[in-house]
Structure 1
Amino acid sequence: MTDAQWAWSEPLLPDRTPKRSGRWRDHREVIDAIAWKFQTGSQWVHLPERYGNWKGVHNRLRMWAADGTWERVFTTLMAQADADEDLNCAVSVDSTIVRAHQHAAGARKKGPRSVSADHALGRSRGGLTTKIHLAADGNCRPLAFHLTAGQAGDAPAFPQVMRRLRVPRRRGRPRTRPEVVLADKAYSSGAIRAHLRRCGIRAVIPVTADQRGHRLRRGSPGGRPPALDREAYKQRNTVERCINRLKQWRGVATRYEKTATIYLAGLHIAGIFLWPPGDPNETP
């Protein structure tokens, strides 16, 4: 982590000592170990010795995933960017499918509450897959994540992605409504357009060919087609570029984690490293 990232992350991390063990190893060292694991996609048992016992690192990842620590740090970094007026109000939404390794199967059905009952794993001709639904700002940085099985559609997951879009503020309620949402034709539905219209959000979504043909067949009762700002739509590639940045982490590009909770934590950790406060040219 950069010094700026650590300065904002440290106050949000638990500072208490576990009841049945000694002092916790340095938080920053453990975060770097977890980041190394997701960046390389290596097995836990191959964690370098300089990071200590892999079981302790994994337990820290699991505990902080369960209590929401990773997501809290992630949203705080976004809030700092918003306070520095470095947050673009044009939000792009899209999804990407990642292949799940065979070791990702077999998670217990019982136990701690997971992100989804099926652990966001789907089975198709290509094998086990998970779909990441996400929103990104105009600077190719992630804002929100939602996981489903790989065969799930994009449009049904849109409300969940928007519901997770929350940027805390120092005063008042968190920001949940961007000025404009950009998405491809997979999100061209009346329900999504109506939802954005109720929230006062401008939709920049092209109409599919079948929707256009259906409106033409109806004639004047079909109404006018939704307007498309083609100049603004050129910015939609920011979410695809954000996906490319996330998939540079091998543990994100291929899912090795059994539970959706741990894999979602990995996405938040990758997002933390993509949201550097302070000097953007500073390197870890």
Structure 2
Amino acid sequence: MACAVIESLLPVPGRRSGRWRDHRQVINGILWKLRTGAPWRDLPERYGPWKTCHERLRRWTDDGTWDAILARAQVYDDGQPVEWIISVDSSVVRAHQHAAGARQKGDSRAGSRAATDGEALGRSRGGLSTKIHLAVDGRGRPLAVVLTAGQAGDNPQLFALLDAIRVHDGRPGRPRKKPDMLVADKAYAHDLTRTGLRRRGIAHAIPERADQVARRAAKGSHGGRPPVFDRQVYRQRNVVERCFNRLKQWRALATRYAKRAALYRSSLLLIAALIWLK
């Protein structure tokens, strides 16, 4: 059933192209690699040449095929449409030493700091890391993914994450982006964030930090009222944690081996689409 949903989105070889290896075989090879975390060269022969699988992953990353597959999966009619109580959070994944060394155009120094920062890799005492910023619907299904270096903060990526949500419901018009409710933890409890959400007309359930409560109390009557906080809605935030758990069942996602951030993101999109289609 999943293959039937995405089959129309897969490229068709042109007239001048040679014989293409079956899409199902190639995608299964990519999934084997993501599940095991093994090097590409260790891909079993039943999936065909490893270079074919890697090249197909890279090519479909460049032309946006993986984004289109996730967009189609999000509106797949399985009787459970998108639930617009959106939960957001982030998770840091350790990057293997093989993930470093990608060159940028015009930069001949493999592994330079510029190349590392440009590929969503951060350096710290613990080594290289990447942070996954994730938005899920009320049933814990992925809606959007943004990658940053591991030391990046959560709050600065919130609006970029919300802007990345585009759900086409099959009807004419623009895709839907605005949730009915946003649920997030204290990492997003900033005054400017609340102001920005208010301007967008997005209700939210974000608890206050202890220092914010103390600062308002110190001002007395001039401190204003506390922001509205629905504790019952906030209890639903665990769906995003459960989604991270599902993604990290795939070893190549729990540890980043890909040098290019775009290829690692495409791997996340592929597994996200499978979550929707199951």
- Give TM-score, length-normalised by structure 1: 0.91
The separation in 2 between residues aligned to 1:63 and 1:237, in whole angstroms, is 35
Partner of 1:242: 243
- Deviation (angstroms), 1:40: 0.9
Mapped pair 1:6 → 2:14: no
Residue matched to 1:99: 94
Is 1:183 the counterpart of 2:180? The answer is: no
Q: What CA distance in whole angstroms lies between the structure 2 residues aligned with 1:117 and 1:175?
A: 32
Give distance in 2, aligned partners of 1:270 and 1:188: 30
Deviation of residue 18 (structure 1)? Answer: 7.8
Residue aligned with 2:207, SS: coil
- Among residues 41, 54, 70, which one is paired with 2:50 in the alignment? 54
Runs of 4+ with >3 A deviation: none
Distance 2:64 2:251 in 1: 23
1:138 and 2:138 are equivalent in the alignment: yes
Structure 1 unaligned regions, length at least 5 = none
Q: Deviations over 1:230-268 (max 9, x none)?
A: 111100000000000000000000000001000000100
Identity, in percent, stands at 53
The alpha carbon displacement at 1:159 in A equals 1.0
Distance in 2, matches of 1:179 and 1:225, equals 21
RMSD: 1.7
1:126 maps to what in 2? 126
Aligned position for 2:109: none
Matches of 2:76 and 2:275, distance apart in 1:
13
Corresponding letter in the other structure for 1:214:
R
Residues 14 and 117 from structure 1, CA distance in 2 versus in 1: closer, same or farther, beyond 3 angstroms? farther
Equivalent position to 1:75, from 71, 89, 112: 71
Give 3-state SS (helix, strand or coil) of 1:96's partner: strand
In 1, Cα distance between the equivalents of 2:13 and 2:200? 41
Looking at structure 2, the residues matched to 13 and 194 of structure 1 have their Cα atoms a distance apart, in angstroms, of: 42
Q: CA deviation at 1:221?
A: 1.8
Secondary structure, counterpart of 2:90 in structure 1: strand
Alignment match, 1:165: 165
Deviation (angstroms), 1:17: 3.3
Report what 2:27 is aligned to: 31
Deviation at 1:67, TM superposition (A): 1.0
Shift of 1:184: 0.3
Of residues 11, 14, 36 in structure 2, which corresponds to 1:17?
Answer: 14
How far is the alpha carbon of 1:16 from its aligned partner?
2.5
- Tell me by how many angstroms 1:28 deviates: 1.4
Secondary structure at the aligned position of 1:275 is classed as: helix
Structure 1 residue 205, shift from structure 2 partner: 0.3
| CA shift for structure 1 position 22 | 1.2
* In 2: Cα distance, 1:109 partner to 1:184 partner: 35
2:257 is matched with which residue?
A: 256
Q: C-alpha deviations, 1:192-233, integer Å up to 9, x for none?
A: 212221222111000000011111111222210101101111
Query: 1:92-140: CA deviations, max 9, x gaps?
Result: 00000000000000001118xxxx9620000001100000000011212
1:181 Cα deviation after fit = 0.6
What is the aligned partner in structure 2 of residue 110 from structure 1?
Answer: 105
Offset from partner CA, 1:41-81 (integer Å, 9 cap, x none): 01000001000100011000000011110011001110225
Would the aligned equivalents of 1:246 and 1:252 in 2 still touch at CA under 8 Å? Answer: yes
TM-score after normalising by structure 2? 0.93
How many Å separate the matches in 1 of 2:37 and 2:15? 28
